[in-house]
Amino acid sequence: MTVEVKIGITDSPRELSIASALPAEDALAAVEAALAGKQELLVLTDDRGSRFLVPVTKIAYVEVGAAEGRRVGFGS
């Protein structure tokens, strides 16, 4: 199951959205470790293998949740 991680970046109007193959608990543990001051960068890998490095000092908020299927059309 894919987990979606949304990261709000300070001084940026857009958020970073990453679809990760990590279990939700592992993604949350990585975020908590970075925000606890144990790391300078939050490092996440998406489901295609791309790595994202976000400086902890620039993180405004983080949302970790299950990615839902995209709904398309007027009936969604």
Q: What 3 state SS string does the chain have?
A: CCEEEEEEECCCCCEEEEEECCCHHHHHHHHHHHHHHHCCEEEEECCCCCEEEEEHHHEEEEEEEECCCCCCCCCC
In a domain, 19, yes or no: yes
In a domain, 12, yes or no: yes
**Overall pTM surpassing 0.85 (yes/no):** no
CATH of the domain at 51: 2.30.30
In a domain, 56, yes or no: yes
**18 lies in which domain range?**
3-66
Query: Is 37's pLDDT higher than 90?
Result: no
In a domain, 72, yes or no: no
Which residues, other chains included, contact 5 with Cβ-Cβ below 8 Å and sequence gap of 6+?
17, 18, 20, 27, 31, 44, 62, 63, 64
In a domain, 17, yes or no: yes
Query: Which pLDDT belongs to residue 21?
Result: 84
Provide the domain count of the chain. Answer: 1
* pLDDT confidence bin for 24, thresholds 50/70/90: confident
In a domain, 73, yes or no: no
Query: Which pLDDT belongs to residue 73?
Result: 67
Query: Which pLDDT belongs to residue 67?
Result: 58
